[in-house]
Chains A and B, each alone.
Chain A
């Protein structure tokens, strides 16, 4: 039997030796990230109906016909910008899949259920829509995803863990997965003590030095934060 002493804790928590290369590595990464950011979004064209976003492609698209649709396109662009910056962990802009064939729509809806930052195999999607043998058809349906990013077809991988194909190339696909691995999901504001999903509109005015990341809404509650009423972070889990 052991008892806990302060000396024991101090011994266990000794600081580590500082590795000499750390600063240089960070500076290299900083240069790389300055070149990378914002490139993909510049290439994207977005189309919408009044119901929601209907098409995202890296090519010229017709301008949306109505003011409502134009507003949705603006909103999508803003959300995508934040997403690529690592400042958004969910999309709230609606999508319009009414022109999408039934099978493909079910595939896309299954892909939408994959949580931010996680991945599933093609076979999982096939199973989820009740066609466990239609793995190849699932791949094709995802490859023609009209609204990539918002419907996260990039979170579907090969069963062995292979990256699989992607509309914008497999390098972009693994880039997106890496981005999601380093984007937090829950953040609290140290001055209001409210916890939000990252990207919530009501947290937009939060000063950067008030940002506190939490591992779960329950953790945030345990130290006196309450969930935001706008983005309802408890439902995200």
Chain B
């Protein structure tokens, strides 16, 4: 990160190579489409590049990147909510067939729990890391994850029955 802060473009390219795929994975699960995800990841990486000087060594690089990325994604979700008046599932589902129900169900989970679920399952982050990324307590992480999963379960059961 120190090299990135000094404007070392090769170091930045290496950083993107290492984390880009996982950042995209999280953004795509949150925003639905690949195009929106790429846009969000680009904006997040731009912020990282410009703010590399404020990076503090006490942070794991991935935690810092995920914080910035989820900040961008959460705000993008806010904009969608304020446009339509309610949370809508992503317009064009791009999930493979067998995940379609899960994809729809995921769109109904409240934003905070959605973010935590995506981070937990795309990168297998620990409760501690999740807490750090969203600036919340470990207990809140646990309760949000449990709530999110139970909402998914309910939605899947209902979806399958109808």
Does B75 reach chain A (CB closer than 8 Å)?
A: yes
Q: If A12-B102, A182-B43 touch, does A188 touch B135 (CB 8 Å cutoff)?
A: yes
B-contacting 9-mer, from A92-100, A125-133, A205-213: A205-213
Q: How far is the CB of A232 from chain B (nearest CB, A)?
A: 18
Chain B neighbourhood of A33, CB < 8 A = 46, 50
- Cβ-defined contact, A13 with B122, below 8 A: yes
Distance, CA A12 to CA B70, complexed state (A): 19
Residue interface bits A175-212, CB-to-B below 8 A is 1, else 0: 00000011011101110010000000000000011111
Q: If A2-B101, A209-B64 touch, does A216 touch B140 (CB 8 Å cutoff)?
A: no
- Closest B residue to A117 by beta carbon equals B79
Judged by DSSP, the binding face of A is mixed
Q: How far is the CB of A199 from chain B (nearest CB, A)?
A: 14
Residues of A1-19 at the interface with B, using a CB-CB cut-off of 8 Å, are 1-4, 8-19
Q: How far is the CB of A146 from chain B (nearest CB, A)?
A: 28
- Cβ-defined contact, A16 with B25, below 8 A: yes
Chain A neighbourhood of B134, CB < 8 A = 212, 223
Distance, CA A50 to CA B2, complexed state (A): 48
Residues of A22-51 at the interface with B, using a CB-CB cut-off of 8 Å, are 22-27, 29-30, 33
Does A115 reach chain B (CB closer than 8 Å)?
A: yes
- Cβ-defined contact, A13 with B25, below 8 A: yes
- Cβ-defined contact, A219 with B111, below 8 A: yes
- Cβ-defined contact, B42 with A22, below 8 A: yes
Interface residues of A (CB under 8 A from B): 1-4, 8-19, 22-27, 29-30, 33, 115, 117-118, 181-182, 184-186, 188-190, 193, 208-216, 219, 222-224
Q: A2-B101, A215-B111, A222-B112 are in contact. List 17 more A-B contacts (CB 8 A).
A: A2-B160, A3-B153, A4-B152, A10-B121, A15-B25, A15-B123, A26-B12, A26-B42, A27-B13, A33-B50, A117-B82, A182-B43, A186-B78, A216-B78, A216-B111, A222-B110, A224-B137
